[in-house]
Amino acid sequence: MLSGMPRFQRIAVYGICRDAHGRVLLTRAASYLTVAGQWFLPGGGLAHGEDPVDGLVREFDEETGLTVRPGVLSGVLSDVTTLPDGVGLHTVRLIYQVAGWSGTIRPEAEGSTDDVRWVSEDERSGLTLMPYVTRALAEWG
């Protein structure tokens, strides 16, 4: 990180959601983001004072159109990165299992993600996954 540049911390919540075929649900970062085209687990940043379980339900609805029933907290991941503008970002990621879901997937309208899909383990190798996704799926997926 560049000396004197701002540093931020972000608390975020993500869910590992599988369909009846064992495929995992992933979302793709929109073209205007610095991580455009990379694939994430559905989820995102928590608002100040927001309960993580409520945040998970909200993020799934926004990004995928699904209504989810959160399961257990699988674990916590932490990563530090320097953004292209030199800002330091520390992200603490709460990873939950999704115990159940209803609805039909659809992409987020004018949001931070532009695609959502069920992805098999074989298909994941052809996608650019955010590093935390690979780690979360290896440890808890």
In a domain, 109, yes or no: yes
Closest CA to 120 of 42, 36, 39, 26: 26
Q: Encode pLDDT of 6-48 as tens digits.
A: 899 999 999 999 999 999 999 999 999 888 899 999 999 999 9
pTM of this structure: 0.92
Q: What is the pLDDT of residue 75?
A: 98
Give domain status of residue 20, yes or no. yes
CATH number of the domain to which 50 belongs: 3.90.79.10
Strand partners, 100: 69
Residue 1 within any structural domain of the chain: no
Q: What's the average model confidence in pLDDT over 73-77? A: 98
Residues 6+ apart with CB under 8 A from 91: 9, 10, 11, 12, 78, 79, 80, 81, 132
